[in-house]
């Protein structure tokens, strides 16, 4: 099956759910979410049977000019899987979160207004999948906008909630600004190289003498993609938007949007980081500065946070810092060491498990304790010991405690930085990890050491229970045996 | 086979989580582990103990266990002995049995995993895994200001581990391997400038975990607050991870770097022995006294390591350090176990309002006496063998014509520590067990038969090694094929 079917199927699924949802009675709107998640899972399975033109060069479709804009390799497949998995889990999370969604939409007593929430993420997912296959800056831009515009709606979805609306406006303004940066940057890159194709860029830039316009373009694009992944200097929106947006949207932003941003970053940067690239060292310097600033900002600003969702927002910035550090310590594929691309992809895959797990838990805490502060986790160890154990494992994984998947991700980043002799970056990363250890354990402390204010145990819906359990176990399994994820990248 | 020793406590932990009777499961797992561990003495060189599973290709990392040499074996045996003693002593507060025994098992699994790993990655990872239940136990079931103390140990050890991690990653990237056995061959390739940096990171990292002066302030309050099994396992076993790491990794791989930091290290370890020793004398409660004494005794082991750094050919220093690690691990576990028992009998650990306990609880007085004597270093008990070996090792390469070297001067100062130990231990013994009985000790219950088991187990180990230190020394001399 040619790979572009995947995006086509995803968009079709989105339309079907969007149309069919109108005929689903108000009390059964969550059915749309379940069907959506099932459909996405089916498409996820199909990714393993998809092929690019290289696998079947004599097929008619292999000749299509589409392949100038679209590529399919193991990396594309990996990020498509991440996007599909994230979206399916976000839909499931939305199903369990529907009470809160209903409270702040059309009619608080029914679920009438929640239906669209199950189809919109699927469109964003199609955009993310396309970003994973980007081969041309124009195509990448369109895919990215599909994601961003969908998110404008998803962030502001709870329209009777001031926080959600405020988040929506902030996201819209900064998102539009970053779009401007992106287009302007692409224009400079095109102007200085004469091509928008990422495949042609290496030969166009080889031997280039005046690299200033090109670097200017690259810097602008980096700023714009920094908005997607949550890197300095475009990180300002993250805490407010994360806090205001509905929790499933926040989870989606934090995982899906970040992963898509990173694959695009990788696709965009690869040509400029090749051996023959004249701008290699400058680009690496820019990346190192961004990584250092992001690490420091995300981790240090997270320390005083008292709202758990806001804490996760800063932690999301912090993780972006680690990921960019891995890119700044650029190590091409092959050789005896892990490559930057593998490290970033592995990190994102584990980040998906941990973060979505934590958001599932947060969504339930929000419903049962009616709050999202760290104090709402007080005494969880007393009321729900197993849930508390899962939360501890996931938070410890985010902090990078060994024998969890989070540690291996960080370990890759540290060894890449050491390999590249980025001592300054490594020092900042150690400080950042130390700060991370502090603020994640602050929540673990609340869970175990502090008496609960509300003694009633949190009753988990079945979907959340299974999802949290699976994500926690996978976090531990990949922490000891990371092989399968790396195998998927081959 | 060695993986069994690691897996068994973890499986027992899961079983407890799923509803198995907590104490019974924990004691059962610890007993099987003890039998397996002691049994392995007779066949530890066999390949059957090895296990290896590659979990990462680049860099090559293996989930691998095995006895690298006699040192791993001694540490594993120390772990299994103390684990059984720890789950046997102490009493779980009602309703917290799962946490109490489950955490103890996890700490034990982490410690055994670290000592049995032949891969740097898992060597580090298992230790870290053991820290989390330690934090949780102190935070939830500790005495006194448990939250503040638990938070302090979390931050201290978390930061120490991170510094250590930085050093280890740096080291591994230069050595080009994570296999602890292969690493030794890389000893020559690390350039001196990098060695200095790595050595500094390792001294601070391992040092924080071992409560090397001045990174020691977490230890005494943490042990004083911790529930008995946690204090026994952490002070007795888990803390030895840092010393084991110094001997296993730092000394062979970055000898020149350590040499550069030798003088500061000597000053710090004297700080442990004399400064913390004096602080220990000033303690008014038995639990903080024991906590501080445990910090103090780390100085002796560091002295042996310093002697090894100063003269890498020193044949006595490494065995001395290992014997003392073993002896200290057993004796401090015994002391913490008994202190907890005293508190449960009398309701107090305050040295000033106790006395005459020997009359109402002679069994306790006898056992505590042995433990205190061991801690002071009375001949016939294992600590004596260890301390004498340490002092001898510092002078092994001493030629009177050259005058005293820095290690010898440190050793002469360190010997005064023995006097300090005698002062605080005997004073504590007198205050608690002798003199007129007071209200709290008048009707205190003595040890029951069950209470004797862990104490006697530990005392047998102390006596055996004390009378015949070759039990351990013979294991260390064998070159593994």
Quick check: helix, strand or coil at residue A327? helix
Q: Is residue B189 part of a domain?
A: no
Residue with tokens 């002796």: B300
The answer to whether A242 touches A155, Cβ cutoff 8 Å, is no
pLDDT, average across residues A179-206:
92
Q: What is the C-alpha separation between B419 and A484, in angstroms, rounded? A: 58
pLDDT tens profile A18-39: 998 888 888 888 899 999 999 9
Q: Is residue B182 part of a domain?
A: no
Residue B56 touches partner A, C-beta closer than 8 Å: yes
Other beta carbons within 10 angstroms of residue A435's beta carbon come to 21
The model's pTM: 0.90
Q: For residue B129, what is the nearest residue in chain A, using CA coordinates?
A: A402
Q: Is residue B181 part of a domain?
A: no
Going from the C-alpha of B458 to that of each of A89, A144, A418, B342, B465, the distances in angstroms are 52, 66, 44, 17, 11
Q: For residue A342, what is the nearest residue in chain B, using CA coordinates?
A: B58
pLDDT, average across residues B310-332:
90
The answer to whether B133 touches B74, Cβ cutoff 8 Å, is no
Q: What is the C-alpha separation between B446 and B460, in angstroms, rounded? A: 20
Cβ contacts of residue B61 below 8 Å, gap of 6+?
B54, B55, B119, B121, B122, B178
A209 DSSP assignment: S
Q: Is residue B49 part of a domain?
A: no
pLDDT tens profile A318-345: 999 999 999 999 988 876 778 999 999 9
- Does B409 score more than 70 pLDDT? yes
Going from the C-alpha of A486 to that of each of A349, A408, A412, B382, the distances in angstroms are 10, 12, 12, 49
- Does B444 score more than 80 pLDDT? no
- On chain A, the residues whose CB falls within 8 A of the CB of B140 are 381, 448-449
Q: For residue B163, what is the nearest residue in chain A, using CA coordinates?
A: A430
Residue B278 touches partner A, C-beta closer than 8 Å: no
Q: What is the C-alpha separation between B336 and B30, in angstroms, rounded? A: 19
- Does B324 score more than 60 pLDDT? yes
Tokens of B13: 């932990």
Range of the domain at B459: 274-481
Q: Is residue B307 part of a domain?
A: yes
- Does A357 score more than 90 pLDDT? yes
| CB-CB under 8 Å, B58 with A335 | yes
Predicted pLDDT at A448: 87
Least confident range from A387-391, A406-410, B125-129, B192-196: namely: B192-196
Mutate to test the interface with B, among A402, A420, A427, A429 (most CBs of B within 10 A): A402
Interaxial angle between packed helices A74-96 and A30-47, expressed in degrees from 0 to 180 and rounded to the nearest 10:
160
Q: B347: phi > 0 → left, psi -120 to 50 → alpha, else beta; which?
A: left
* Cα–Cα nearest to B64, from B11, B8, B9, B126: B126
Q: State how far Cα B70 lies from the chain centre.
A: 17
pLDDT, average across residues A211-237:
92
The answer to whether B290 touches B238, Cβ cutoff 8 Å, is no
Angle at the Cα of A414 from the Cα atoms of A343 and A72, rounded to 5 degrees: 10
The answer to whether B96 touches B123, Cβ cutoff 8 Å, is no
Residue B147 touches partner A, C-beta closer than 8 Å: yes
| CB-CB under 8 Å, B57 with A486 | yes
Count: domains in chain B = 1
Q: What is the C-alpha separation between A345 and A82, in angstroms, rounded? A: 9
Other beta carbons within 10 angstroms of residue A276's beta carbon come to 11
Interaxial angle between packed helices B362-376 and B449-467, expressed in degrees from 0 to 180 and rounded to the nearest 10:
30
Q: What percentage of chain A reaches a pLDDT higher than 70?
A: 100
Q: What is the C-alpha separation between B447 and A180, in angstroms, rounded? A: 78
Cβ contacts of residue A122 below 8 Å, gap of 6+?
A10, A11, A13, A14, A17, A36, A39, A40, A87, A91
* Cα–Cα nearest to B106, from B261, B196, B229: B229
Q: Is residue B137 part of a domain?
A: no
Going from the C-alpha of B276 to that of each of B262, B288, B329, B351, the distances in angstroms are 20, 12, 18, 19
- On chain A, the residues whose CB falls within 8 A of the CB of B53 are 481
Q: B435: phi > 0 → left, psi -120 to 50 → alpha, else beta; which?
A: left
Q: For residue A428, what is the nearest residue in chain B, using CA coordinates?
A: B166
Angle at the Cα of B133 from the Cα atoms of B128 and B134, rounded to 5 degrees: 85
CA distance A262 to chain B (A): 22
Q: State how far Cα B470 lies from the chain centre.
A: 20
Q: What is the C-alpha separation between B419 and B422, in angstroms, rounded? A: 5
| CB-CB under 8 Å, A418 with B173 | yes
| Average pLDDT for chain B | 88
Cβ contacts of residue A487 below 8 Å, gap of 6+?
none
Q: Is residue B119 part of a domain?
A: no
- Name the residue facing A437 among B53, B126, B158 (closest C-beta): B158
Higher pLDDT, A106 or A482: A482
The answer to whether B352 touches B284, Cβ cutoff 8 Å, is yes
pLDDT tens profile B121-133: 899 999 988 998 8
Predicted pLDDT at A385: 86
* Cα–Cα nearest to A482, from B54, B247, B357: B54
| CB-CB under 8 Å, A402 with B126 | yes
Mutate to test the interface with A, among B14, B18, B100, B129 (most CBs of A within 10 A): B129
- On chain B, the residues whose CB falls within 8 A of the CB of A480 are 55, 63
Tokens of B240: 């030895």
pLDDT tens profile B350-371: 888 888 888 888 888 899 999 9
A283 DSSP assignment: H
Mutate to test the interface with A, among B154, B171, B194, B198 (most CBs of A within 10 A): B154
Predicted pLDDT at B478: 58
Q: How confident is the model at residue B180 (pLDDT cuts 50, 70, 90)?
A: confident
Predicted pLDDT at B188: 75
The answer to whether B317 touches B393, Cβ cutoff 8 Å, is yes
H or E stretch covering A34: helix A30-47
| CB-CB under 8 Å, A449 with B139 | yes
| Average pLDDT for chain A | 91
Helices (H), A112-211: 120-132, 137-155, 162-193, 201-205
H or E stretch covering A462: helix A462-480
Provide the β-strand partners of residue B65. Answer: B51, B117
Tokens of A474: 């996978």
Q: What is the C-alpha separation between A243 and A367, in angstroms, rounded? A: 15
H or E stretch covering A383: helix A380-383
Q: What is the C-alpha separation between B355 and B81, in angstroms, rounded? A: 31
The answer to whether B387 touches B300, Cβ cutoff 8 Å, is yes
Provide the β-strand partners of residue B179. Answer: B119
Higher pLDDT, B235 or A453: B235
Q: How high is the ipTM of this complex?
A: 0.85
Q: What is the C-alpha separation between B244 and A121, in angstroms, rounded? A: 52
Predicted pLDDT at B481: 40
CA distance A415 to chain B (A): 6
Q: Is residue B173 part of a domain?
A: no
3-class secondary structure for chain B? CHHHHHHHHHHHHHHHHCCCCHHHHHHHHHHHHHHHHHHHHHHCCCHHHCEEEEEECCCCEEEEECCCCHHHHHHHHHHHHHHHHHHHCCCCCCCCHHHHHHHHHHHHHHHHHHHHECEHHHHHHHHHHHHHHHHHHHHHHCCCCHHHHHHHHHHHHHHHHHHHHHHHHHHHHHHCCCEHHHHHHHHHHCCHHHHHHHHHHHHHHHHHHHCCCCCCCCHHHHHHHCCHHHHHHHHHHHCHHHHHHHHHHHHHHCHHHHHHCHHHHHHHHHHHHHHHHHHHHCCCEHHHHHHHHHHHHHHHHHHHHHHHHHCCCCCCHHHHHHHHHHHHHHHHHHHHHHHHHHHHHHCCCEHHHCCCHHHHCHHHHHHHHHHHHHHHCCCCCHHHHHHHHHHHHHCCCCCHHHCCCHHHHHHHHHHHHHHHHHHHHHHHHHHHHCCCCCHHHHCCCCCCHHHHHHHHHHHHHHHHHHHCCHHHHHHHHCCCC
- On chain A, the residues whose CB falls within 8 A of the CB of B154 are 441, 445
Predicted pLDDT at A360: 95
Q: How confident is the model at residue B480 (pLDDT cuts 50, 70, 90)?
A: very low
Residue B263 touches partner A, C-beta closer than 8 Å: no
| CB-CB under 8 Å, A448 with B58 | no
Least confident range from B37-46, B71-80, B290-299: namely: B37-46
Angle at the Cα of A386 from the Cα atoms of A381 and A391, rounded to 5 degrees: 70
Provide the β-strand partners of residue A307. Answer: A373
- On chain B, the residues whose CB falls within 8 A of the CB of A389 are 17
């Amino acid at each position: 099956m040619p790979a572009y079917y995947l995006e086509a199927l995803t968009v079709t699924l989105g339309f079907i759910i969007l149309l069919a949802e109108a005929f689903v009675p108000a009390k059964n709107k969550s059915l749309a979410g379940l069907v959506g998640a099932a459909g996405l899972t089916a498409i996820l399975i199909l990714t393993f049977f998809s092929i690019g033109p290289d696998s079947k060069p004599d097929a008619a479709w292999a000749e299509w000019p589409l392949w100038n804009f679209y590529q399919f390799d193991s990396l594309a497949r990996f990020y498509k899987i991440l996007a599909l998995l994230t979206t399916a889990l976000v839909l499931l999370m939305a199903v369990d979160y529907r009470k809160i969604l209903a409270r702040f939409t059309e009619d608080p007593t029914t679920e009438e207004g929640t239906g669209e929430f199950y189809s919109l993420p699927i469109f964003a997912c199609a955009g993310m999948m396309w970003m994973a296959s980007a081969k041309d800056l124009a195509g990448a831009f369109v895919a990215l906008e599909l994601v961003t515009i969908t998110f404008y709606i998803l962030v502001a979805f709870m329209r009777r909630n001031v926080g959600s609306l405020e988040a929506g406006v902030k996201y819209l303004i900064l998102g539009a600004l970053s779009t401007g940066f992106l287009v302007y940057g692409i224009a400079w890159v095109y102007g200085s190289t004469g091509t928008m194709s990422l495949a042609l860029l290496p030969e166009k830039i080889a031997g280039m003498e005046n690299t200033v316009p090109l670097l200017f373009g690259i810097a602008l694009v980096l700023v714009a993609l920094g908005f997607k992944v949550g890197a300095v200097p475009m990180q300002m929106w993250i805490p407010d938007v994360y806090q205001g947006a509905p929790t499933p949207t926040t989870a989606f932003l934090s995982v899906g949007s970040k992963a898509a941003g990173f694959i695009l970053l990788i696709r965009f940067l690869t040509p400029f980081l090749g051996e023959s690239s004249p701008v290699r060292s400058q680009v690496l310097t820019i990346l190192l500065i961004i990584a250092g600033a992001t690490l420091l900002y995300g981790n240090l600003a997270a320390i005083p946070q008292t709202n758990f969702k806001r804490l996760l927002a800063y932690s999301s910035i912090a993780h972006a810092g680690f990921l960019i550090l891995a890119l700044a310590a650029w190590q091409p594929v092959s050789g005896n060491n892990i490559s930057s691309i593998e490290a970033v992809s592995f990190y994102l895959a584990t980040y998906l498990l941990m973060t979505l797990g934590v958001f599932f838990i947060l969504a339930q805490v929000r419903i049962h304790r009616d709050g999202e502060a760290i104090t709402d986790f007080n005494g969880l160890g007393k009321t729900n010991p197993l849930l508390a154990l899962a939360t501890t494992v996931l938070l410890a994984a985010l902090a990078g405690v060994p024998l969890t998947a989070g540690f291996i991700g960080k370990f890759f980043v540290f060894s890449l930085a050491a390999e590249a002799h980025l001592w300054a970056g490594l020092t900042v990363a150690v400080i950042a990890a130390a700060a991370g250890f502090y603020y994640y354990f602050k929540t673990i402390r609340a869970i175990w050491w502090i008496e609960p204010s509300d003694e009633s145990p949190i009753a988990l819906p079945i979907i959340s229970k299974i999802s949290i359990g699976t994500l926690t176990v996978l976090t531990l399994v990949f922490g000891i045996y990371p092989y399968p994820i790396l195998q998927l990248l081959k | 086979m060695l993986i069994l020793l690691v897996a068994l406590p973890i499986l027992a932990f899961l079983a407890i989580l799923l509803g198995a009777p907590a104490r019974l499961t924990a004691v059962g797992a610890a007993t099987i582990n003890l039998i397996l561990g002691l049994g392995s003495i007779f066949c530890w060189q066999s390949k059957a103990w090895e296990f290896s599973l590659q979990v990462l290709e680049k860099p090559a990392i293996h989930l691998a266990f095995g006895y690298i040499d006699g040192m791993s074996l001694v540490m594993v045996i120390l772990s299994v002995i103390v684990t059984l003693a720890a789950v046997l002593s102490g009493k779980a507060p009602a309703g917290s049995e799962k946490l109490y025994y489950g955490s103890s098992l996890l700490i034990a699994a982490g410690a055994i995993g670290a000592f049995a790993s032949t891969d740097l990655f898992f060597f580090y990872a298992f230790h870290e895994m053991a820290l989390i239940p330690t934090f949780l136990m102190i935070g939830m079931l500790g005495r006194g200001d448990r939250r503040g103390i638990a938070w302090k140990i979390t931050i201290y050890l978390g930061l120490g581990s991170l510094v250590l991690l930085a050093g280890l990653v740096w080291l591994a990237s230069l050595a080009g391997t994570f296999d602890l056995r292969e690493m030794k061959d890389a000893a020559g390739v690390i350039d001196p400038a990098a060695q200095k940096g790595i050595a500094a990171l390792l001294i601070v990292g391992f040092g924080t975990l071992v409560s090397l002066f001045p990174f020691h302030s977490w230890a005494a309050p943490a042990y004083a607050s911790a529930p008995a099994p946690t204090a026994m396992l952490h002070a007795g076993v888990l803390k030895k991870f840092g010393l084991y790491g110094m001997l296993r990794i730092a000394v062979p791989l970055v000898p020149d770097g350590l040499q550069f930091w030798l003088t500061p290290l000597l000053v710090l370890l004297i700080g442990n022995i004399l400064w913390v020793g004096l602080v220990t004398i000033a303690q008014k409660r038995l639990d903080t006294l024991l906590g501080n004494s445990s910090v103090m005794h780390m100085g002796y082991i560091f002295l042996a390591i310093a002697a090894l750094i100063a003269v890498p050919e020193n044949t006595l220093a490494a065995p001395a350090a290992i014997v003392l690690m073993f002896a200290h691990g057993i004796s401090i576990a015994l002391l913490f176990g008994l202190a907890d028992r005293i508190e449960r009998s009398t309701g107090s650990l305050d040295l000033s309002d106790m006395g005459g306990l020997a009359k109402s609880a002679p069994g306790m007085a006898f056992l505590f006496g042995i433990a205190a004597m061991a801690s002071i270093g009375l001949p016939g008990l294992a600590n004596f063998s260890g301390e004498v070996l340490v002092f001898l090792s510092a002078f092994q390469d001493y030629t009177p014509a050259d005058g005293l070297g820095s290690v010898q001067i440190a050793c002469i100062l360190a010997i005064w520590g023995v006097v300090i130990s005698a002062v605080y231990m005997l004073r504590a013994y007198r205050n608690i067990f002798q003199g007129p009985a007071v209200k709290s000790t008048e009707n205190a219950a003595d040890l029951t038969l069950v209470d004797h088991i862990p104490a006697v187990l530990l005392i047998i180990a102390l006596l055996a090694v004390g009378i015949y230190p070759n039990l351990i020394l013979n294991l260390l001399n064998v070159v593994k094929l």
